[in-house]
């Protein structure tokens, strides 16, 4: 299907829709973060890392809104994964918006945190960095092949506060009560889509996701059951589809006693919607946040911060 046909259903939803369509034709901007577990901020090591990577011809620009994130200005000339400092764990490549679910979760040292869909560990690594490797992070994923990459990243980044598990999120064992749970759910990934020269959609996933909304709802309800009363859950996806976003959070609000919280967001966002295709959602869904690629210059995202009430 042609991209204009595909995205037409979101025309009334996405602000500056024509600019959005146009933006899809450009390559996705690339970002990385400096890993302050290995290069503490304001240390000589941090400065040395910045100097060394630029000597290897990487042209970079700091992102003023999100600490320690840098945009790569010449991604066609240098691959971050080939930079020496990457192998040494001083850098981690991740899209800018991938930081937002972690910023919303706001993890702290000493807390017990569950990352239910964690591989390959971009957000796990950022949580470990923000908590200075002093939380207990359980990083779970359903897929063993992806867990292998997660473990490699944890090791490379010098993280010691993390253990890994392999469960379906919907069936993660009830027992431990977590302070915070992140559900960075499997999704259609529409926020990553780009457009090729003939109008074809690039980076579109296959069709093996028929029950995706059901899976997302199952994982989010289990996340609620795993967090302690008063604890925080963040639900995020990199897709635009309200059926994978607001509808999933709305489902939780109908099934459990939960409340959507606002949070201080460093990037431009649009409020979540309270109706889609004739179906009304809870009015508090407006407190969830939508991020579109042409506004944030990164992968499109959806983030909901939720509190378990009882």
Ligand X SMILES: C[S@@+](CC[C@H](N)C(=O)[O-])C[C@H]1O[C@@H](n2cnc3c(N)ncnc32)[C@H](O)[C@@H]1O
The contact set with ligand X (CB under 6 A) reads 98, 116-123, 141-143, 146, 168-170, 184, 186, 215, 219
**Does residue 187 carry a catalytic annotation?**
no
Q: How far is CA 90 from the centre of its chain?
A: 20
- Is 91 or 117 the residue whose CB approaches ligand X more closely? 117
Q: Is 279 helix (H, G, I), strand (E, B) or coil?
A: strand
- Is 186 or 231 the residue whose CB approaches ligand X more closely? 186
Q: How far is CA 212 from the centre of its chain?
A: 17
Bridge partners, residue 70, by sequence: 32, 62
In order of 24, 202, 222, 223, 240, the CA distances from 33 in angstroms are: 24, 25, 31, 28, 25
- Is 168 or 194 the residue whose CB approaches ligand X more closely? 168
For 164-199, b/e burial (b = at least 16 CB within 10 A) is beeeebbebeeeeebbbbbbbbbbbbbbbbbbeeee
Distance between CA atoms of 139 and 270, rounded to whole angstroms?
Answer: 29
- Is 50 or 267 the residue whose CB approaches ligand X more closely? 267
Candidate list 162, 187, 238, 265, residue with the active-site label: 238
Minimum CB separation of residue 123 from ligand X in Å reads 4
Minimum CB separation of residue 121 from ligand X in Å reads 5
Minimum CB separation of residue 259 from ligand X in Å reads 24
Minimum CB separation of residue 18 from ligand X in Å reads 29
Q: Is 111 helix (H, G, I), strand (E, B) or coil?
A: coil
Minimum CB separation of residue 91 from ligand X in Å reads 15
- Is 125 or 272 the residue whose CB approaches ligand X more closely? 125
Bridge partners, residue 275, by sequence: 280
Both tokens assigned to 129? 């960095």
Please identify every residue annotated as catalytic. Answer: 238
């Amino acid at each position: 299907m042609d991209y204009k046909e595909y995205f037409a259903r979101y025309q009334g939803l996405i602000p500056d829709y024509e600019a959005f369509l146009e933006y899809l034709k450009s390559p996705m901007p690339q970002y990385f973060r400096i890993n302050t577990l290995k290069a503490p901020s304001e240390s000589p090591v941090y400065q040395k890392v910045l100097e060394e990577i630029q000597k290897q011809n990487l042209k970079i620009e700091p992102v003023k809104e999100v600490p320690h994130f840098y945009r790569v200005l010449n991604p066609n000339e240098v691959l971050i994964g080939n930079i020496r400092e990457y192998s040494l764990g001083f850098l981690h490549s991740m899209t800018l918006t991938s930081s937002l679910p972690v910023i919303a979760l706001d993890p702290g040292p000493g807390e017990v945190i569950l990352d239910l869909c964690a591989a390959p560990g971009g957000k796990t690594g950022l949580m470990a960095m923000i908590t200075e490797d002093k939380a207990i992070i359980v990083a779970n994923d359903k897929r063993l092949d992806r867990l292998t990459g997660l473990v490699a990243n944890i090791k490379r980044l010098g993280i010691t506060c993390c253990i890994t598990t392999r469960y379906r999120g919907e069936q993660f064992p009830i027992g431990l009560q977590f302070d915070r749970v992140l559900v960075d759910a499997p999704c259609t990934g529409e926020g990553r889509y780009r457009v090729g020269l003939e109008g074809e959609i690039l980076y579109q996933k296959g069709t093996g996701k028929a029950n995706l909304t059901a899976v997302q709802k199952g994982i989010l309800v289990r996340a609620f059951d795993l967090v302690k009363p008063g604890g925080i859950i963040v639900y995020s996806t990199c897709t635009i589809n309200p059926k994978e976003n607001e509808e999933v959070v709305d489902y939780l609000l109908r099934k459990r006693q939960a409340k959507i919280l606002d949070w201080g967001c460093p990037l431009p966002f649009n409020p979540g919607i309270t109706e889609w295709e004739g179906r009304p959602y809870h009015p508090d869904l407006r407190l969830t946040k939508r991020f579109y690629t042409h506004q944030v210059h990164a992968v499109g995202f959806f983030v909901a911060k939720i509190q378990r009430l009882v």
